[in-house]
């Protein structure tokens, strides 16, 4: 589900509640990948990023990280940020407070052991969260992240559609949501086909892909609101 059609009041709440974009004069945007690691796709994503000198944030599902620990460790060693995307990818508004905390804390324990650092960013599965969920996640020490560019790559009919939906919105400070894995084992070949073109188009515009951590780091130069700012978007159903 895209949030573009929601009322301004709801979009305003999203912008206040989630990190969706970072106003910056630096020529960089955050690349984020959800639902991995995946042994057949994540290594290819890492290879493409390394080729162009880009970094990214990987919002990992805990049980996938548990199954493929070496990939998480290799991504962290290469300078990528490892972030929390719950253990089993549930729809959080439908689970209990206890289950929410179990999902977050179990994944944190796994990722900390594999990456050598505690994750600090969190993305709710399918982008769905309530104010109460966000308060609890913040109490656990996390900042919730969505984004401003979401080409709906899991549901796109082809790579060309993903490219078209992404390239038109590339700009400094924005956060791009893509998928290197799946909570249900679904293929992500279209994303892999689109990614080299997206990276090439970024480079042609003088943009470098970075992690969310780096985008908001001390090197970011604040330059006021981004012009023609798109609304926040959430991943929606996958």
Q: Which residues are catalytic?
A: 34, 179
Residue 238 to residue 229: CA distance in whole angstroms: 25
Longest dimension (CA), the chain: 47
Residue 197 to residue 206: CA distance in whole angstroms: 14
The CB-based long-range contact list for 68-71 (8 Å cut-off, 24+ gap) reads 68/37, 68/38, 68/39, 68/42, 69/114, 71/36, 71/37, 71/38, 71/39, 71/42, 71/43, 71/46
């Amino acid at each position: 589900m895209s949030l573009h059609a929601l009322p301004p009041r709801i979009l305003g709440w999203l912008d206040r509640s989630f990190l969706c974009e970072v106003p910056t004069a630096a020529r960089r945007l955050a690349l984020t990948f959800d639902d991995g690691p995946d042994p057949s796709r994540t290594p290819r994503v890492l290879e493409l990023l390394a080729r162009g000198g880009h970094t990214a944030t990987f919002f990992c599902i805990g049980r996938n990280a548990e199954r493929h620990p070496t990939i998480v460790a290799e991504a962290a060693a290469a300078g990528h940020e490892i972030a929390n995307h719950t253990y089993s990818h549930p729809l959080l508004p439908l689970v209990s407070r206890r289950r929410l905390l179990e999902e977050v804390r179990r994944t944190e324990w796994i990722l900390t052991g594999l990456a050598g650092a505690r994750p600090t960013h969190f993305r709710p599965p399918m982008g769905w969260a309530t104010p109460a969920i966000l308060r609890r996640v913040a109490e656990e020490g996390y900042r919730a992240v969505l984004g401003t560019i979401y080409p709906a790559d899991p549901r796109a009919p082809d790579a060309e559609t993903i490219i078209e939906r992404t390239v038109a919105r590339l700009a400094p400070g924005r956060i791009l949501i893509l998928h290197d894995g799946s909570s249900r084992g679904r293929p992500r070949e279209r994303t892999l086909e689109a990614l080299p073109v997206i990276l090439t188009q970024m480079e042609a515009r003088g943009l470098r892909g970075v992690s969310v951590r780096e985008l908001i780091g001390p090197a970011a130069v604040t330059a006021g609101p981004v012009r023609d700012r798109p609304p926040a978007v959430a991943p929606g159903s996958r």
